[in-house]
Structure 1
Amino acid sequence: MSGQSQLLKERDAERQVRRRRVFYIPGYDPIHPRRYRELYRKEGAAQAKISGYQIDLKPKTTKGPYGWHVTSRQHGKETDTDVDVLVWSDIVRGSMSNTIPATYLQMLRTAWCYIGSGALWRLMRLRKGPVIAALYPVGALILQALLAVLLAWGVARAVALIPLPLMSLAGLVLGGGAGIALLRWFRVRDGKFFIYYLMHDYAYSAQFRGANPPELEVRMAEFTEQIAEALQSEVDEVLVVGHSSGAHVGVSVLADLIRSGRVSEDGPVLSFLSLGQVVPMVSFLPDAHRIRADLQFLSGRNELAWVDVSAPGDGCAFALCDPVGVSGVAPEGKHWPLVISAAFTQTLSPERWKELRWRFFRLHFQYLCAFDQPGDYDYFRITAGPRVLGDRYAGRAPSKSRITKTVSKFTSVAP
Structure 2
Amino acid sequence: MTQTSGEVRRRRVFYIPGYDPIPPRRYRELYRKEGAKQGEISGFSLSLSPKSGARFGWSVDSLIDATETHSEIDVLVWSDIVQSSMDVGIFQTYLILIRTAWIYISTGALGALMKLRRGPVLAALYPVAILLVQLLVAIGLGAVLFSVLGLMSNTALFQLGAGLASVALAYGVLRWFKKQDGKFFAYYLMHDYGYSARWRGAEPPELLARLESFQADIAEALLQDWDEVLVVGHSSGAHLGVSVLANLIRAGQVPEAGPKLAFLSLGQVVPMVSYLPDAKVLRRDLAYLSARDELFWLDVTAPGDPCSFALCDPVKVSGVAPQNQRWPLVISAAFTQSLSPELRATLKHRFFRLHFQYLCAFDQPLGYDYFQITAGPQRLSDRFADQAPTPSRIDTPANKYTEMAL
2:112 to 122, 144, 157: 122
Q: CA deviation at 1:414?
A: 2.2
Q: Is the 8 A contact 1:50 1:372 kept in 2?
A: yes
Match of 1:132 in 2: 122
2:237 corresponds in structure 1 to 246
Partners of 1:406 and 1:89 lie apart in 2 by: 32
Answer yes or no: is 1:29 the counterpart of 2:8: no
- What is residue 306 of structure 1 aligned with on the other side? 297
1:85 to 2:75 alignment: yes
Which residue of 239, 249, 253 corresponds with 1:262? 253
* Structure 1 match to 2:189: 198
Q: Tell me the alpha carbon deviations over residues 94-126 of structure 1, each in whole angstroms, 9 at most, x when there is no partner.
A: 000111111111111100110000000111111
- Distance in 1 separating the partners of 2:325 and 2:68: 35
Residues 56, 71 of structure 1: 8 Å contact kept? yes
Residue in 2 that maps onto 1:337: 328
Report the AA paired with residue 88 of structure 1. Answer: W
CA distance in 2, matches of 1:338, 1:219: 27
Q: Secondary structure at the match of 1:352?
A: helix
Aligned counterparts of 1:38 and 1:188: Cα–Cα separation in 2: 25
- The aligned amino acid for 2:361 is A
- Which segment drifts farther, 158-167 or 389-398? 158-167
Match of 2:344 in 1: 353
* 1:93 Cα deviation after fit: 0.3
- Residue 66 (structure 2) pairs with residue 76 (structure 1): yes
Equivalent-residue separation in structure 2 for 1:87 and 1:163 (angstroms) = 58
Question: In the TM superposition, what is the alpha-carbon distance from 1:163 to its structure 2 partner?
Answer: 3.7
Query: 1:171: which partner in 2?
Result: 162
Alignment deviations for residues 295-342 of structure 1 (CA, whole Å, 9 cap, x no partner): 000000000000000000000000000000000000111010000000
| 2:51 aligns with one of 55, 60, 75 | 60
Whole-angstrom distance in 2 between the partners of 1:136 and 1:369: 25
Distance in 1 (alpha carbons) for counterparts of 2:347 and 2:135: 31
Question: Which SS does the other structure have where 1:323 is aligned?
Answer: coil
The 3-state SS of whatever aligns with 2:322 is coil
User: For 2:250 and 2:140, how far apart are their aligned partners in 1?
Assistant: 57
Matched with 1:6 is none
How many residues align structurally?
Answer: 404
Q: Deviation string for 1:6-34 (max 9, x for gaps)?
A: xxxxx998321110000000000000100
State TM-score, norm by structure 2: 0.98
Alpha-carbon distance in structure 1 between the residues aligned to 2:355 and 2:153: 56
Q: What's 1:4 paired with?
A: none
Q: Which residue of 1 aligns with 2:36?
A: 45
Amino acid paired to 1:71? D
Q: 1:359 to 1:117 in 2, by over 3 A?
A: same
Query: What is the deviation of 1:375?
Result: 0.1
**Alpha carbons 2:340, 2:363 under 8 Å: kept:** yes
> What is the root-mean-square deviation in Å for CA atoms of aligned residues?
1.3
Distance (whole Å) between structure 1 residues aligned to residue 7 and residue 228 of structure 2: 9
SS of structure 2 residue aligned to 1:326: coil
CA contact (8 A) 1:161 1:167 kept: no
Deviation at 1:357, TM superposition (A): 2.2
Map of 2:210 onto structure 1: 219
Deviations 1:360-384 (A, max 9, x none): 0000000000000000000000000
Q: Residue 145 of structure 1 corresponds to which residue in structure 2? A: 135
Tell me how far apart the structure 1 counterparts of residues 361 and 64 of structure 2 sit (CA, whole Å).
Answer: 16
Letter in 1 for 2:127: P
How many angstroms apart in 1 are the aligned matches of 2:356 and 2:153? 58
Q: Distance in 1 between matches of 2:272 and 2:112?
A: 10
Q: Structure 1-normalised TM-score?
A: 0.96
- Kept in 2, the 8 Å contact 1:12–1:269? The answer is no
Q: In the alignment, which of 141, 158, 168 is matched to residue 148 of structure 2?
A: 158
CA contact under 8 A between 2:3 and 2:227: conserved in structure 1?
no
SS of the residue 2:316 aligns to:
helix
Distance in 2 (CA, whole Å) between partners of 1:257 and 1:105 is: 37
* % identical equivalent positions: 61
User: Partner of 1:372 in structure 2?
Assistant: 363
Counterpart Cα distance in 1 of 2:235 and 2:303: 14
